[in-house]
């Protein structure tokens, strides 16, 4: 007869082995991530199993996934459909084709845009557009604080709602929890705005809502009257960013677009809104799309996330790298790439493209900052020039290829943005806008130090051990 202690031990062993088998059998996971999880489960049996249950798979219930995909399919039909690609040059067509496959709609033409001068002015411009709105205001932010800039937008929403504009305001339940629990949130509701707390998780119990608890809506979307949209990295907050003030100022980028790309951004907003609230926004999306500008440029807005095929955001980044002929400049605060992404960066540098990456010198995430630096040797050996910005927390996510392609959005180059978070990006082909973004990147470069290539590649053995261990950890998530 087996005693109770032995039975309990056998149950623990059975669970441990079952989780290991599950980690090996899971489809769609890259081999590096699979090996990392296997190593963790063997090295830390109990803690590894707990971590796997919490973070091992970007699980979403079939019901949640099916509902989201159904809403996406219903809304895609309202994206503007030009008869042809227009003036998109053949050299960049493949990048746009990749974004089209990810979004489910064609590239839009006839768009105009301008980069906002700084974070405070960006909020002032958004407030001006909200104050000029006639029909709808759609806002979605990952982090929305009740500081100076945050309150400017709150008050603008209240003014718009009171004069009869339909305001739909969404904020991530975790990233913006302080505002959602504050009187400012109630103030917008009392003014007549429709509010939604995105991806709520009761008491942290994800199984109750059918998804992993740490899946977040990281998007930053503002669409005014369906014809103006803002895209970029900036949350609704002051550059001082009081929740993490010791890393301030937070340095972001926000671009104001007009034209059919605004309808695409509106559909991305509407899909998340309808999934959370159940409201049918098809009548609004079926309105006449924004007018084309005769001297406008091609652009496409794309939303990605855990409902997308695995690797979609990586495919989008890689497609832009593949188009580069002369140079690429990247800014990203969080860098923990998957194998295809790091491979594309290295391949671009090896074929003679001048690749520059600007990271923040001080990162608000110590572990991700360390993981980013662990990749310096691989990048430096390929010929990538690495810079660290010292003027604050460089939070902007930008990718400029040659003189024509600019990718602006909310997505970082880490596993969370690539596979877990809901993100939004806009790819454009415009000499003028690309020049504006490149000028901003040059401004950041002027306040950055370049990492010495020899120092990055010739590391002492303890540092090599730590760095290689960190790249394994990066693959876990």
Confidence of residue 59 (pLDDT cuts 50, 70, 90): confident
Q: Are 215 and 306 in contact (CB under 8 A)?
A: yes
Given CATH 3.30.70.980, say whether it is the number of domain 62-94+106-298: no
* Two domains, one topology: 62-94+106-298 and 312-476: yes
Torsion angle (degrees, nearest 10) of CA 21, 25, 29, 35:
40
Helix, strand or coil, per DSSP, at residue 115? strand
In the chain, domain spans:
4-55, 62-94+106-298, 312-476
Check the CA dihedral 252-255-261-264 and report its sign: positive
Stretch among 52-56, 172-176, 246-250, 367-371 having the lowest mean pLDDT: 52-56
**Does residue 460 surpass a pLDDT of 50?**
yes
155-190 pLDDT tens trace: 999 999 999 999 999 999 999 999 999 999 999 999
| Among candidate residues 205, 251, 200, 261, the one with its CA nearest the CA of residue 230 | 261
**Does residue 85 surpass a pLDDT of 60?**
no
Average pLDDT, the chain: 91
382-391 pLDDT tens trace: 999 999 999 9
9-26 pLDDT tens trace: 777 778 888 888 888 887
User: Does residue 57 or residue 80 have the better pLDDT?
Assistant: 80
Stretch among 34-38, 180-184, 262-266 having the lowest mean pLDDT: 34-38
Q: Average pLDDT of 137-151?
A: 97
What pTM, to 2 d.p., does this model score?
0.92
**Catalytic residue annotation:** 218, 220, 225, 395, 397, 402
- Which option is the CATH number for 312-476: 3.30.360.10, 3.90.850.10, 3.30.870.10, 3.30.200.20? 3.30.870.10
pLDDT given for residue 23 in this prediction: 82
| Among candidate residues 178, 119, 201, the one with its CA nearest the CA of residue 394 | 119
Strands 250-251 and 393-394: parallel
pLDDT given for residue 84 in this prediction: 44
């Amino acid at each position: 007869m087996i005693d109770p202690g032995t039975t309990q031990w056998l149950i623990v062993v059975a669970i441990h082995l079952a989780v290991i088998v599950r980690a090996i059998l899971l489809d769609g996971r890259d081999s590096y991530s699979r090996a990392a999880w296997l190593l963790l489960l063997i090295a830390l049996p109990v803690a590894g199993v707990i971590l796997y249950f919490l973070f091992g798979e970007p699980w979403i219930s079939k019901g949640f996934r099916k509902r989201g995909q159904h809403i996406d399919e219903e809304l895609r039909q309202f994206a503007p459909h030009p008869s042809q690609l227009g003036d998109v040059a053949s050299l960049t067509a493949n990048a746009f084709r990749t974004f089209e496959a990810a979004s489910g709609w064609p590239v839009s033409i006839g768009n105009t845009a301008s980069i906002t001068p700084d974070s405070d002015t960006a909020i002032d411009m958004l407030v001006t557009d909200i104050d000029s709105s006639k029909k709808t205001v759609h806002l979605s932010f990952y982090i929305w604080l009740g500081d100076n800039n945050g309150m400017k937008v709150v008050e603008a929403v209240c003014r718009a709602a009171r004069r009869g504009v339909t305001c739909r305001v969404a904020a991530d339940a975790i990233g913006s929890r302080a505002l959602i629990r504050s009187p400012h949130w109630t103030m917008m509701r009392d003014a007549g705005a429709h509010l939604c707390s995105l991806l709520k998780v009761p008491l942290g119990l994800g199984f109750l809502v059918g998804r992993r608890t740490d899946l977040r809506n990281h998007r930053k979307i503002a669409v005014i009257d369906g014809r103006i949209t803002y895209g970029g990295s900036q949350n609704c907050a002051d550059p001082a960013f009081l929740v993490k003030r010791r890393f301030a100022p937070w340095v972001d980028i926000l671009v104001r677009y007009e034209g059919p790309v605004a309808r695409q951004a509106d559909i991305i907003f509407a899909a998340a809104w309808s999934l959370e609230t159940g409201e049918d926004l098809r009548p609004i999306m079926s309105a006449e799309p924004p007018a084309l500008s005769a001297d406008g440029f091609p652009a496409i807005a794309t939303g990605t996330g855990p409902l997308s095929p695995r690797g979609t955001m990586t495919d989008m980044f890689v497609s832009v790298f593949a188009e580069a002929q002369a140079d690429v400049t990247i800014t990203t605060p969080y860098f923990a790439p998957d194998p295809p992404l790091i491979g594309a960066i290295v391949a671009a540098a090896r074929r003679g493209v001048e690749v520059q990456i600007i990271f923040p010198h001080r990162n608000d995430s110590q572990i991700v900052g360390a993981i980013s630096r662990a990749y310096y040797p691989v990048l430096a050996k390929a010929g990538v020039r690495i810079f660290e910005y010292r003027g604050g927390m460089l939070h902007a996510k930008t990718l400029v290829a040659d003189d024509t392609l600019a990718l602006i959005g909310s997505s970082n180059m880490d596993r969370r943005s690539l596979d877990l978070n809901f993100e939004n990006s806009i790819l454009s082909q415009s000499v003028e806008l690309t020049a504006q973004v490149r000028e901003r990147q040059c401004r950041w470069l002027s306040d950055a130090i370049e990492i010495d290539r020899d120092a990055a590649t010739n590391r002492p053995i303890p540092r090599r051990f730590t760095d290689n261990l960190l790249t394994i950890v990066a693959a876990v998530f």
